[in-house]
């Protein structure tokens, strides 16, 4: 689900929601989707809210011109922090590869290194 830089963020939202892997947790049938979606003002469209509701997800989207995006900060910092960790990998910050499979492999390797570094001090 990679799109070009000139595609608005809200366009591939339906594909993103359908691509969420099952959430493992307690015993029994795994949940297929999260309970809520926290998003900024870029996703403030009826089609985005409708897509969330059709899938049983409660949309928590800041409204343009009404709400401040600061309230989403406590949830959004996790995403921003993770993107900052990935940006430290020079090969990912500027995409040199044309093939998507090679770029995906480097992204997976970078995520593995981030997890390894986070867990190496715990044991």
The string of pLDDT tens digits covering residues 52-110 is 999 888 998 888 877 665 666 666 777 788 888 888 888 888 878 888 898 899 999 99
Q: What is the C-alpha to C-alpha distance for residues 75 and 39, in angstroms, rounded to an integer? A: 9
CA distances from 95 to 24, 38, 87, 102, 115 (A): 32, 28, 11, 10, 22
- Sorting pLDDT into bands at 50, 70 and 90, what band is 117? confident
pLDDT 10s digits, 15-56: 888 887 766 667 777 667 778 888 888 888 899 999 999 988
């Amino acid at each position: 689900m990679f799109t070009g830089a000139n595609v608005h963020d809200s366009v591939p939202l339906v594909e993103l929601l359908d691509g969420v892997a099952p959430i493992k947790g307690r015993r029994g049938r795994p949940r297929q989707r999260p309970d809520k979606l926290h998003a900024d003002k870029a996703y403030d469209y009826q089609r985005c809210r409708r897509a969330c509701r059709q899938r049983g997800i409660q949309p928590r989207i800041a409204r343009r011109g009404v709400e401040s995006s600061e309230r989403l900060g406590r949830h959004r910092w996790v995403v921003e922090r993770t993107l900052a960790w990935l940006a430290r990998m020079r090969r990912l910050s500027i995409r040199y590869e044309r093939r998507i499979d090679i770029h995906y492999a480097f992204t997976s390797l970078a995520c593995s290194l981030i997890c390894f570094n986070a867990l190496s001090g715990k044991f």
